[in-house]
Amino acid sequence: MTNKLFVNLGRYLVFGAFVLFFLSGCGDDDNHNGITNKVLVGDGTTLILYSVQPDGSLAALSSAAVPEPAEGQEIYGIVKYPTQPWIYVTSMIDYSNGNGRIDRFLLDGDTLTYDGAAFIFTDDSGPVAGMSCVPTTLAFNSDGTRAYIDEDRLDVVDIFSVDAAGDFSFLWEGAGTSMNGLIVSPDDDKLYNGSNVIDLDGDTAAVSVPGPGGNANEIVTDDTGTNFMAAVLYTNELAIYGLADQSAPNLIAGIELEEASYELAFDGGPAMYQDSSADLSVFTVVGAETVATFSFDGATFTLLDQYFNNHTDYNVTPQVMNRGVAMTADGTRAVVAWLRPSDENDDPLFDGGITVYAIDAEGTLTAVHTITSTSPVRAVLSL
C-alpha cells in the first residue's frame, strides 16, 4: 500500500503572468497515494468532500468555507496534517496576489468544519504585507511541528513553527525555488522542489543540489515500503526518483508529454500536476488542455493515452487549464480540477469545475462526469 499526501497546486500563467524572500519577504505538495475513493476539492473558497461513486459520478458529503473571504479569494492548495484530523488550505486573491492566508479545517469522518485561520499575511502578523505574499504549496514535516511554504512572489521557502492548536508562527525565509513543487524528505532533513534539493539546517534552508524546478512533488511508497519522489519538471515532463540517498535523489525514469497541436490562449505546458495509483502502476498527468496516463514498471514510463480538450479556437470556446489531479487507489478514476476564462475574450474572471475520467485496463481515458462552478477550481486532494 502506498502512502502519499499531496496538494495539487502551483503556477498558472495567462498571457504573461498569472498563478497560482530574504528575511524581509513573506512566508504544498505532500505525500498522498490515495487510500480511499474520497477527494477534497477547493472550489473558490469552499472546501468540498466528495465520494467517487462506482460509475464515476461524485457525491458531495460535506463542505465548509473560509469565512468572510476577500473578493477574488481562491483556494490554491490543500494538504492533510500528519498527526491530527486537520486539513489546511492556502488561498489568496488571484488577480492581485494579495490577502495571502492559511486556514485550517477539521475533518471528522465525513464532516468538514472550519477550524480557524492558522496564519494571515498582514503587516503586523506576517513577514511583509499580505499584498506581497503568494503562498502556494504547503508541506509539513513528519511530526507537524514545522510547515514549509513555497512563496511564489520571490520564489523562496518560508518556514513556520506549528503550535498545539495548529496555528503558525513565521520563523525564516530564504533558499530559492523554481515553480511551486515542495515536499519534505522522509528523513525531515530536506525539501524537494522539482529536482532541486534544499537542505534544512534547524530553521534555515539552502539549495544543495540545483536542478530543474517543477510542480506536484510527492513522496510515494511502493508495496515493499521503498520511498520514491515523483514530480513534474518544468511544465512538460513526468519524473520519478529513487531516494536511497535522500541528499541526492537519482532519476529512475522521465518522460516528456506532447503539447496541444493548436494555439493556446495562455502560457502553460502539458505536464503541470500528477498523481498515481496506490501501487504506482499508473500515473495521470494534467496540464494545458490535456490529460494523460502512463504505466510505470519500476524502471520506465510508457504513455498509455493522452486526451486533449480540443478547444482549438479559443476565440469561440475558452480553453481549459487542468489545475490538479487525484486518482483513486485502484487507478481506475482520475478526478481533475480545472479553470478557464469566463468568456471568449479571456476575461480575467474565471470559472471552473471538476471532471472525473475513467481509466480502463489499457489506460484509455474517458470523461464520465463533470461538475461546473462559477469559481476557479484549482486544487484536489485524495484521502
Return the pLDDT at 4: 42
Return the pLDDT at 69: 87
Rounded (5°) CA angle 261-263-269: 75
Cell numbers at 379, concatenated: 486544487
For 113-129, write each residue's pLDDT tens digit: 999 999 998 754 445 54
Return the pLDDT at 293: 98
Go through 314-352 and write b for each residue having 16 or more CB atoms within 10 A of its CB, e for each that does not: beeebbbbbbbbbbbbebbbbbbbbbbbbeeebeeebbb
The C-alpha atoms of residue 173 and residue 137 are separated, in whole angstroms, by 15
The answer to whether residue 372 scores a pLDDT higher than 70 is yes
- Return the percentage of the chain with pLDDT > 70, whole number: 85
CB-based contact 332:279 (threshold 8 Å): no
Helices (H) and strands (E) in the chain, counts: 0, 28
Cell numbers at 382, concatenated: 485524495
Cell numbers at 14, concatenated: 495567462
CA dihedral 329, 33, 93, 132 (to 10 degrees): -170
**Least confident span in 16-20, 192-196, 300-304:** 16-20
Return the pLDDT at 126: 46
CB-based contact 80:4 (threshold 8 Å): no
Return the pLDDT at 365: 98
The answer to whether residue 133 scores a pLDDT higher than 90 is no
Go through 46-75 and write b for each residue having 16 or more CB atoms within 10 A of its CB, e for each that does not: bbbbbebeeebebeeebbbbbeebbebbbb
Which residue in the block uniquely carries the three cell numbers 477547493?
Answer: 42
- Bridge partners (DSSP) listed for residue 228: 220, 242
Backbone angles phi, psi at 131, to 5 degrees: -65, -15
The C-alpha atoms of residue 331 and residue 338 are separated, in whole angstroms, by 20
Q: Give 342's pLDDT tier (boundaries 50, 70, 90).
A: low
Instruction: Provide DSSP, 80-97.
Output: E-SSSSEEEEEEEETTTT
pTM of the model: 0.89
Instruction: Provide DSSP, 128-140.
Output: S-GGG--EEEEEE
> 10 Å Cβ neighbour count for 146?
19
What count of residues does the chain have?
A: 383
